[in-house]
Amino acid sequence: MSVIAEISIPATEFELGRIMDVSGSGTVELESLVPTGERAVPFFWVYDADFAAFERTVSEAPSVAELVEIDTYDDRVLYTFEWSVENDAVFRSIRDVNAYILNATGADTSWRFELRFPSHEAMSTFQEECAEEDIGFEVIRVYNPGKPDLGPWFGLTERQREAIVLAVEEGYYDIPRDCTTVELADDLGISDQAVTERLRRAIVRLVTNTILTSPGN
């Protein structure tokens, strides 16, 4: 049976946290992590930060090939860069146990992850691998999908709920469609790529926390 864990990891404990330093101001939200062979391409939003200082810090990291700005709005910027998961013990351990990143947000000096593990054994293996790398983290809560403590939105974040509700109301899922991701993006103030990723995450989370739940949980 799958299990979901919310954990907090100090930014200094893993490479991606050290690279994307927003200590003192700003927030980083991981939109997606796309594998490309031995490397990965993270797409992430940075909110209300010193963007010039952030870009300098990331660009100076030896493991970052090139920082690319995808979209820019008044209070946020969508970035991406090519990066090797092998250099990061946390993300390497997540991959090794086939866990899924439901959400990852960094602010000040720590990151908060919501991870779906295929089993309790997989979660234990993840903890053991992190301990072997001397990575300390705080477990905020652990629960099985579908439990009542998911709240009124079945585990959706506020942004995910906003996107999927708007998509339904505007007819994105109608046949034929009454709106596009570009139109949804204009309403939400983000890029159409970010809308697609946010809807995908919302659907995965809804399915995980509802129809994938075993009867009786």
Considering the chain, what percentage of its residues have pLDDT values greater than 70? 89
Question: What residues contact residue 30 under an 8 Å CB cut-off, 6+ apart?
Answer: 42, 43, 44, 101, 103, 104, 105
Cβ atoms of residues 136 and 13 within 8 Å: yes
Would you state the pLDDT for residue 216? Answer: 45
Cβ atoms of residues 29 and 44 within 8 Å: yes
Q: Mean pLDDT of all residues in the chain?
A: 85
pTM of this prediction?
A: 0.68
Amino acid identity, position 123: M
Phi-psi group of 177: left, alpha or beta (phi > 0 → left; psi -120 to 50 → alpha; rest → beta): beta
The pLDDT tens digits of the residues spanning 168-207 come to 999 999 888 899 999 999 999 988 888 998 898 889 888 8
The CATH architecture assigned to 148-209 reads: Orthogonal Bundle (1.10)
> Is the pLDDT confidence value at 155 over 80?
no
Q: Are strands 39-47 and 3-10 parallel, antiparallel or unpaired?
A: unpaired
Cβ atoms of residues 114 and 8 within 8 Å: no
Q: Taking the domains of the chain in order of start, what are their residue ranges?
A: 3-143, 148-209
Tokens 């946390």, located at residue: 90
DSSP for 16-70, please give it: HHHHS--TTS-EEEEEEEEEETTEEEEEEEEESS-HHHHHHHHHT-TT-S-EEEE
The pLDDT tens digits of the residues spanning 162-176 come to 999 999 999 999 888
Query: Quick one: average pLDDT of 41-62?
Result: 88
